[in-house]
Amino acid sequence: AQSVTQLGSHVSVSEGALVLLRCNYSSSVPPYLFWYVQYPNQGLQLLLKYTSAATLVKGINGFEAEFKKSETSFHLTKPSAHMSDAAEYFCAVSFTGANSKLTFGKGITLSVRP
């Protein structure tokens, strides 16, 4: 069975600082990996996704993530945080196959201090 682990529930950074949100997955077959963002009172929107092409994936709003098979990780980074990045971030995994579905992590809230 596939699963996603997002350690911690809250990360706080200063404006301009590096953002690092961690995601580890387990999957018995090559995974598809996603990061979604949810701004207050809104649905989720896709930030980026990995589907077995380049291991470094660039997304919207300056975010990127690197797929590391040896570490079973897909951490999300942004070099310089902006106040508008404050939101909840979800990592998710799926895989190809008849019984596949998207499995979400519990989410992590990012706060950005002025």
Binding site for other proteins (CB under 8 A): 9, 32, 34, 36, 41-46, 49, 90, 94-96, 100-102, 104-107
Residue 47 CB, shortest distance to other proteins, in Å, is: 11
The least distance separating other proteins from the CB of residue 7, rounded to whole angstroms, comes to 13
Between 70 and 99, name the residue whose CB sits nearer to other proteins: 99
Nearest Cα to 84, choosing from 28, 54, 39? 39
Which residue, 11 or 44, has its beta carbon nearer to other proteins? 44
Smaller CB distance to other proteins: residue 85 or 103?
103
Task: For the beta carbon of residue 3, count every other beta carbon within 10 angstroms.
Answer: 11
Q: Shortest gap between Cβ of 22 and other proteins (angstroms)?
A: 15
What 8-state DSSP symbol labels residue 18? P
Least CB distance to other proteins at residue 90 (A):
7
First to last CA, the chain: 41
Residue whose CB is less far from other proteins, 11 or 32? 32
DSSP string, 66-97: EEEGGGTEEEEEESS--GGG-EEEEEEEEESS
Q: How far apart are CA 54 and CA 39, in angstroms?
A: 28
